[in-house]
Amino acid sequence: MKVIVAGAGLGGLALANGLRGAGIDVAVHERDRSPLVRRQGYRLHLSDVGIDALTSVMAPERRAALLATAHTPAPRFVRFDPTLKELDVLEHDGLHLSVDRQTLRDALLAGVAETIVYGTRLAGFQAAVGHVTARFDDGTTVTGDVLVGADGINSAVRRQYLPHARVVSTGLVQLYGKIPAEPAASMDNVFTAITGPGHRTVGVAYTRDYATCSFGARAEDLPSGLHAMTQDQLRSLVLDMTDGWHPLIRRMIAQWHDVFPLELRTSVPIPPWPTTRVTLLGDAVHAMSPAAGAGANLALRDAAALSAALAHGGPLIPALRSYEQEMIDSGFAAVRVSAANGARFLGQDPLPSG
Ligand SMILES: Cc1cc2nc3c(=O)[nH]c(=O)nc-3n(C[C@H](O)[C@H](O)[C@H](O)COP(=O)(O)OP(=O)(O)OC[C@H]3O[C@@H](n4cnc5c(N)ncnc54)[C@H](O)[C@@H]3O)c2cc1C
């Protein structure tokens, strides 16, 4: 069997690890020219879901080396008001780790580097009886038994395959960056949110040697042209928007660096579709706002489940169908939880119906 994967993000790389481990031929086509051309984010929260998936797809010694770099935050979500008065504490069950996203990517890449073809952006595909052909924007094609769209929130595979599936704005914009660990040391939780008037939110996630710091607000509350602003301008903007907040929060923002703006979007759940030899995983199908901290964990779980289904060796379409049933149910359930959390804590727009 030959599996073509579009996208070498966390889900595509985890899938390639699982398939290679099972001796299945896999080629991952990634639009980026190299793994280094693009900012890939900072700290990532891994729950049991993601950790179990890594256990199932990675070689034990690589997984152990990765987890040795992880930090274990207090297993809870804490919310403060702008004076740092505690509003809510939600205790989490199970294991929760913080890993550096680049470290996780490097660990996943190490097992499958030779399966990745960089600089190949999937443009479309054609499914036929017994095979599927992927077409890339440089005009080349590749034929295999299965095509997996692991190509993220703007998935070209999804756009062609499920043109009725929508990705919509949450109404929120986030400025996302890093701060030194020291000012965030009292917030060593899975996630800490400081929520102020008008859905302005500072989010802090502490790791061993730095913390991430985000500032989120309704899009209409922020000026246009955020992408063109310098780091100084972004810091000043947020210091203005958090005027009067606790001095510790303002000290964090004053030390903010590597900040970039993100429009937060979400998929809109759709009913299951007939299974074919084209399938999807992760953000390509069930992208969600970061309010549940679950997107990467679910992309990893999809990858582990899909490689197990393909490795099982039974007839292809029933194997893909059983993968998709679980992936669609759990993926869209998480999209709904994330939207509900986002509406409650961040001012996210409700999910449109249908
Ligand atoms: C600020 C922020 C913080 C987050 N924190 C967390 C967290 O703590 N925990 C968590 O679980 N989740 C978190 N998430 C969500 C998580 O990052 C995503 O859910 C996860 O990266 C999805 O993985 P993926 O492999 O499906 O897609 P991606 O990681 O987006 O990978 C898609 C890949 O496909 C490639 N690609 C795109 N189009 C094409 C094409 N046409 N052809 C070929 N290649 C293509 C892209 O270049 C990319 O490499 C966070 C998200 C954000 C924005």
Ligand 1 pocket test, candidate residues 283, 298, 327, most atoms within 8 A of CB: 283
Q: Which pairs with CB-CB distance under 8 Å and at least 24 residues apart come from 323-330?
A: 323/279, 324/272, 324/275, 324/279, 325/272, 327/281, 327/285, 327/286, 327/302, 328/272, 328/285, 328/286, 330/298, 330/301
**Atom number, ligand 1, closest to the C-alpha of residue 13:** 25
* CB of residue 20 inside a 6 A radius of ligand 1: no
* CB of residue 183 inside a 6 A radius of ligand 1: no
Cα 287 to averaged position of ligand 1 atoms, centre (Å):
9
- Check residue 39 and give its pLDDT: 67
Residue 335 belongs to a domain:
yes
Q: What is the pLDDT of residues 91-108, one digit of tens each?
A: 989 999 999 999 999 999
Residue 51 belongs to a domain:
yes
CA distance 204 to 78: 10
Q: What is the maximum alpha-carbon separation in the chain? A: 65
In this structure, what are the phi and psi dihedrals at residue 88, rounded to the nearest 5 degrees? Answer: -145, 150
Number of domains comprising the chain: 2
* CB of residue 31 inside a 6 A radius of ligand 1: yes
* CB of residue 12 inside a 6 A radius of ligand 1: yes
Q: Dihedral of the CA atoms 318, 150, 5, 12 (nearest 10)?
A: -100
For residues 178 and 40, membership in a common domain is answered with no
CA distance 134 to 110: 25
Strand duo 25-30 + 2-6: pairing: parallel
Q: What is the pLDDT of residues 335-353, one digit of tens each?
A: 999 999 999 889 999 999 8
Q: What does the DSSP 8-state code read for residue 328?
A: H
For residues 309 and 337, membership in a common domain is answered with yes
Residue 352 belongs to a domain:
no
* CB of residue 177 inside a 6 A radius of ligand 1: no
- Check residue 111 and give its pLDDT: 86
* CB of residue 135 inside a 6 A radius of ligand 1: no
For residues 39 and 129, membership in a common domain is answered with yes
For residues 161 and 176, membership in a common domain is answered with no
Tokens of 320: 């893909």
Q: What is the pLDDT of residues 54-71, one digit of tens each?
A: 999 999 999 999 999 999
* CB of residue 152 inside a 6 A radius of ligand 1: yes
Tokens of 31: 């639009």
For residues 121 and 190, membership in a common domain is answered with no
CB 46 within 8 A of CB 96: yes
Name which of 167, 168, 182, 340 is nearest 254 in CA terms. Answer: 182
CA distance 89 to 86: 8
- The total number of residues shown for the chain amounts to 354
**Atom number, ligand 1, closest to the C-alpha of residue 298:** 11
Cα 283 to averaged position of ligand 1 atoms, centre (Å):
6
Cα 296 to averaged position of ligand 1 atoms, centre (Å):
7
For residues 153 and 188, membership in a common domain is answered with no
Distance of CA 199 to the CA centre of its chain: 23
**pLDDT above 80: residue 37:** no
**Atom number, ligand 1, closest to the C-alpha of residue 14:** 25
Q: CA angle, 338 as apex, 186 and 223 as ends, to 5°?
A: 75
* CB of residue 44 inside a 6 A radius of ligand 1: yes
CATH code at position 147: 3.50.50.60
Residue 81 belongs to a domain:
no
Q: What is the pLDDT of residues 125-155, one digit of tens each?
A: 999 999 999 999 999 999 999 999 999 999 9
Confidence grade of residue 202 (pLDDT, cut at 50, 70, 90):
very high
* Mean pLDDT of all residues in 69-97: 95
For residues 36 and 109, membership in a common domain is answered with yes
Residue 114 belongs to a domain:
yes
pTM above 0.85, yes or no: yes
Which segments within the chain are labelled E, that is strand?
Answer: 2-6, 25-30, 43-46, 74-80, 86-91, 97-100, 116-118, 122-128, 131-136, 141-144, 146-149, 167-179, 189-195, 201-206, 211-218, 257-267, 278-280
- Check residue 354 and give its pLDDT: 61
For residues 143 and 58, membership in a common domain is answered with yes
**Atom number, ligand 1, closest to the C-alpha of residue 302:** 26
Q: What is the pLDDT of residues 270-325, one digit of tens each?
A: 999 999 999 999 999 999 998 888 999 999 999 999 999 999 989 999 999 999 99
* CB of residue 156 inside a 6 A radius of ligand 1: yes
For residues 154 and 221, membership in a common domain is answered with no
CA distance 273 to 139: 29
Last residue of a domain, one of 227, 246, 264: 264
* CB of residue 280 inside a 6 A radius of ligand 1: no
Three-state SS across 169-209? EEEEEEEEEEECCHHHHHHCEEEEEEECHHHCEEEEEECCC
Last residue of a domain, one of 213, 232, 264: 264
CATH code at position 237: 3.30.9.30
**Atom number, ligand 1, closest to the C-alpha of residue 174:** 1
- Can you give the residue range of the structural domain that contains 119? 2-72+96-167+267-346
Atom 37, ligand 1: residue with shortest CA distance: 151
Tokens of 30: 């990634």
